[in-house]
Amino acid sequence: MQTDRYTTAARRETVYDTGLRNHMLGVYNRMTVGILITAIVAWVVSSSPALQMMFLGGPQAYLVAFAPLAVVWFGFNPASMSSQKLMMSFVAIAVLYGISFSMLALMFAGADIARAFFITSAMFAGLSIFGYTTKKDLTAIGQFCLMAVLGLVLTSVVGMFTTFGSGVQLIINYATIFVFAGVTAFETQRTKQMYHAGNPAEINSRMAWAAALSLYISFVAMFQSILALTSQR
């Protein structure tokens, strides 16, 4: 009987490990698709003067800049939206970011963009591994970083209408990397902890989309700052 209990417990542990692994892979696959969509849209828009003029050639540029934030705050609610609607919102955010990021292709050399992307990818992978494997509770760090994100958002909004000095911009870039590095590790740990094999598939899918969005935003924020710091232009 005791052997049977051990066998049953081992089977449950195996099922949990497999389910958790698939859940985490699903989160990272969603995030990767979002980054791919953003890159493709940025390339398409930057390659078309007509599209650049349509989206970024006037006051509508401000609408494009603020639209992702509006969708995140008002059009992405895992508590009340189905996973299908969350997917549509996620894709919309990725597309909007892609339109904004099309300017990067015009402002920075391709080699600088590629270098910043690989640095960000390596940093992101390391932070995710740390968040997944560490035994330390990252809740306090995560909450601090999430509050700091609001400060960075407000600073970015102010920066759209004023010009910061190079010293201030340097501090903002380093702060952005530090803050979103903390968010990445915290979100990875929280995603792992929130998963439960007994949850309905729809619930786990909603959580996966929420985690994918958080990790996606962390990645693109760090990428922007790393690009600004490492660029030769």
The 10s digit of each residue's pLDDT in 175-222 is 999 999 999 999 999 999 988 888 898 999 999 999 999 999 999 999
Q: How far is residue 28 from each of residues 11, 33, 202, 215, measured CA to CA in Å?
A: 26, 9, 17, 8
**Percent above pLDDT 70 for the chain:** 90
For the chain, the domain total comes to 1
Q: Residue 201: CA atoms inside 13 Å, Cβ hemisphere, count? A: 3
With 80 as the cut, is the pLDDT of residue 14 above it?
A: no
Question: Is pTM, for the whole model, over 0.75?
Answer: yes
pLDDT of residue 166: 72
Give residue 172's domain range: 2-230
